[in-house]
A and B are shown apart, each in its own frame.
Chain A
């Protein structure tokens, strides 16, 4: 008994020591990131093109989290993200555009009167616009959820995809609200790097917290075994709906941010291809991993940009490779396939980053490397 007590105390003090170290490391990381963002915002670290890529990375991270929640954590194969983003993007744009710009953009057919004089200015304006965008998208998800969440698997995927396309087609035809197929341009670039990284950080914390609550655990149980979950008293419909609505909210905010970062949107931007791009991030990062979605978003978004040189034509020594449009995507896809071959469940599986995990990895690295070089024991033979 006494012995046990001291043993426990030993473990406990060890834990707090590690915890203190981890807290310190986290603080250093956050401060470093803040300093980096500060200088980047001042234009001191990287050029404006790179800043734009970084912004997109963060926006895609938010979108990947949205998709991961319903697909990876709740196990519902939903592909409606592009449609939800469209709702968020248009809502945000129409709220934050100055009145004079609206008049210029809507030259084919004037904008409806109730939107004509709306102008939510500056950072407060964007905050309100993103919030409204999220809420409207959440309501849309709620309405769509009623019919589609009764479906499962591929059927659910097709139904959500269908609704996503319907939203896009509606937006193409509501000329006086969305400016139709011409789209909207000159959207204020209020969403700077503080905004994109800030919103991303908010949703990371949000997701970490959500998955620690009883509701988050219920999502995972539905993913693992619907029959067992229901028999343990979890209402499938209620929890799928909750997850779907939150996911919709995040997609709406993400879409709104994207509109402000890009400065121009058209309905074509929100084709289902966009949902696949995000799904790719989720799968590469790991279904059911928050860390995975963030890392995946940054990797894929930067890789796509970085590989642009492939499209322009280049030289390998004396061999001249001509300009081939689309070579970038071929190489990109090949790289992806390689990664998925080695990491079947994505880079992170359903695990999260932790300092403890990282230290374990570093500690075990020499052993692992040594294992590669050790001659393999000869087995079998002809005997």
Chain B
């Protein structure tokens, strides 16, 4: 069962075609990577999928969890908050935490999208709101525990070291209870040890949360270790697609990366 599919998704900014005719599909419970040199259009592809940008042309299709064999839903250009509601969560290449707020609050708010209580029952602290508030807190603490941030729950999000901030972003995304998780360079700026940990962590949350993961990453080690399949973008075009072994030996990929220093 495909979870996500793009059909000829294209994004132009003025004269620049950031993503050109992107056709990817992601199967349930897979980890798929998108790689490519700087400016290849990877983040733009994420932005099209999550509704931050509306594709100039083409479509984004999504299969809601447990929807059996129903047709895929067209989510092209839907609002980001609605897409999050459908079960697609993401992290950002340039960390975007809620700076003025605690680690716990950062995760708590991601539960808001699943909140079933209206504003008035929240204000009146009606018992069922109280209950869902307690549940939100419990779920958030469990999540923080699982990413190893429970001890930092009451610290300011921006006071965390870089590596932990990236983890917090993942925890926040998980709190929206996604089916599909998009990670934009989760290992950027991490040292080899942290990168190693992250690789295991991503594989583990895929299993623990029954997730499907789409990953952008420059660290080849991670990509080769945990991806089931890889798409390679260059100047917006998809130049290769296959298993890690196939990609490693692909001459086009080697040419695209030639002269581009690996980070």
| A residues lining the B interface (CB < 8 Å) | 206, 209-210, 213-215, 217-218, 220-221, 223-225, 227-236, 242, 288, 350
Q: B176 touching A233 by the CB < 8 A rule?
A: yes
Binding site secondary structure of chain B = helix
Q: Complex: how many Å from CA A221 to CA B109?
A: 8
Q: B109 touching A217 by the CB < 8 A rule?
A: yes
| B residues lining the A interface (CB < 8 Å) | 50, 52, 79-82, 84-85, 89-90, 92, 96-101, 105, 108-115, 117, 119, 122-123, 125, 129, 133, 136, 172-173, 176
**A-B pairs with beta carbons under 8 Å apart, 25 shown:** A209-B123, A214-B117, A214-B122, A215-B122, A220-B100, A220-B105, A221-B109, A224-B100, A225-B96, A225-B97, A227-B52, A227-B92, A228-B92, A229-B109, A230-B81, A230-B84, A231-B50, A231-B80, A231-B92, A232-B81, A232-B112, A232-B173, A232-B176, A233-B85, A235-B79
Of A209, A231, A242, the most chain B CB neighbours within 10 A belong to A231
Q: Complex: how many Å from CA A310 to CA B99?
A: 44
Which residue of chain B has its CB nearest to the CB of A206? B123
Among A217, A227, A233, the residue within 8 A (CB) of B108 is: A217
Q: Complex: how many Å from CA A78 to CA B90?
A: 31
A residues within 8 A CB of B136? 214
Among A209, A218, A236, A288, the residue within 8 A (CB) of B112 is: A218
- Distance (Å) between the CB of B195 and the closest chain A CB? 24
Q: B81 touching A235 by the CB < 8 A rule?
A: yes
B residues within 8 A CB of A233? 81, 84-85, 110, 112-114, 176
Q: B176 touching A225 by the CB < 8 A rule?
A: no
Q: Complex: how many Å from CA A209 to CA B112?
A: 17
Q: Complex: how many Å from CA A220 to CA B117?
A: 19
Q: Complex: how many Å from CA A233 to CA B79?
A: 9
Given the known inter-chain contacts A209-B123, A225-B96, please indicate yes or no for A230 contacting B105, CB distance below 8 A: no
Q: A209 touching B125 by the CB < 8 A rule?
A: yes
Q: Complex: how many Å from CA A215 to CA B98?
A: 15
Given the known inter-chain contacts A209-B125, A230-B79, please indicate yes or no for A214 contacting B97, CB distance below 8 A: no
A residues within 8 A CB of B96? 225, 227-228
Q: B113 touching A234 by the CB < 8 A rule?
A: yes
Given the known inter-chain contacts A209-B125, A228-B96, A230-B80, please indicate yes or no for A220 contacting B85, CB distance below 8 A: no
The 4 closest A-B pairs by CB, nearest first: A233-B113, A233-B84, A228-B96, A224-B98
- Distance (Å) between the CB of A29 and the closest chain B CB? 23
Q: A214 touching B90 by the CB < 8 A rule?
A: no
Q: A221 touching B125 by the CB < 8 A rule?
A: no
Q: B172 touching A232 by the CB < 8 A rule?
A: yes
B residues within 8 A CB of A214? 108-109, 111-112, 115, 117, 122, 133, 136
- Distance (Å) between the CB of B36 and the closest chain A CB? 22
Which residue of chain A has its CB nearest to the CB of B124? A209
B residues within 8 A CB of A234? 81, 109, 112-113
Among A224, A230, A235, the residue within 8 A (CB) of B101 is: A224
